[in-house]
Amino acid sequence: MSFTTTIKEEISRIKNTRSESISELSGFLRNNGTCTDTTIDLLTENATVAKRIYQLMKDIYDITCEIESRKNMNFSKNNLYLIMINERVDFILKDLSIIDEEGNFLEVPDDYILGSEEEVRAYLRGAFLSKGSINDPKTARYHLEYLIEEKEEAKLISSLLNTFDLNSKLLSREKGYMVYIKEAEKIGDFLRIISANQAVLYYEDIRIYRDHKNMTNRLNNCEQANIDKVVGNATRQIEEIEYLKENLGMDLLDDKTKEAMEYRLKYPEASLLELSEIISYETGKPITKSGLNHRFRKIRELVSRMKKS
């Protein structure tokens, strides 16, 4: 079972007030199926969603819908469930703000459909049951989307999402429009908004695990980069020391420089900080990492001048 299916089955069990049910049905119907003067046909791949719409229609409008199972021809193992409404069609379409009093399609619903925050949540829930999906965070990148046919409806859904500061974006597709969210934290917030509480727990567990794993990888990469840097610096310093020994000898160098050279050759894998601590301990003469770096800089400058001359 996909993560999207799990979410839809969970939110299909939510108990609504009457006004919330109307908003949810409006969100579903405005994005699903076909309507005529005498029929409303709705399609879904989820049996639980089909039962949800059936029950809401019965509770709100006291009608009995017909549900028919069909084979899905789009290379999917899931059946399609056709919900057929043949009673009180005109009243239902007007009550759900699908059409106006003259029978014209409304590009956006009337204000009473979205009159309160809970009704907005219900509308988003209904639209998600119809056209929404979320990638499973365990197997794919973070991604939530609504695939909407009508531009004004897509703009409405994006606007409603952004009233909750979800940072949704709108993208034109070949067939319609995609409203999407990519930020992991915002997708978790969306699940809370539509009251998919079990899905939130699963999603956040996976997100925390992935964030922790990514942080561990970044720390490991930083540690490896530091090791590589230490090894690279030490290797260069040893090469410079060997050059001086071969071309100048040690007698012409001051004692502090010779001391740094001797300890570098003795401890070729030590970092500057570790080498400064070793020298301080073994000689009884404190030297800082900065002071030791200054000595190696003098060596590097001397080698550079010798190579040029």
Reported as a single tens digit per residue, the pLDDT across 199-248 is 999 998 888 887 776 777 777 778 777 777 878 888 888 888 888 888 87
Report pLDDT for 77: 63
**Confidence at residue 83, expressed as pLDDT on a 0 to 100 scale:** 92
Q: Give the pLDDT score at 73.
A: 62
CATH number of this structure's domain 3-195: 3.10.28.10
Q: The sheet that has 176-181: what strands, in order across it?
A: 132-134, 144-148, 176-181, 169-173
Residue-range domain boundaries for the chain: 3-195, 212-308
Q: Is 31 helix (H, G, I), strand (E, B) or coil?
A: coil
**76 with 45: CB under 8 angstroms?**
yes
Q: Which long-range contacts (CB under 8 A, 24 or more apart) does 210-218 make?
A: 210/137, 211/184
- Rounded distance, CA 33 to CA 83, Å? 9
List strands edge to edge, sheet with 34-35: 34-35, 40-44, 80-85, 66-70
| Parts of the chain with a pLDDT under 50 | none
Q: pTM value? A: 0.70
Q: Quick one: pLDDT at residue 250?
A: 72
Which residues pair with residue 81 across a beta bridge? 44, 69
Task: Report yes or no: 11 and 194 within 8 Å, Cβ to Cβ.
Answer: yes
Rounded-to-integer distance, Cα 237 and Cα 243, Å: 10
| CB neighbourhood size of 184 (10 A) | 19
What pLDDT is stored for residue 75 in this prediction?
A: 55
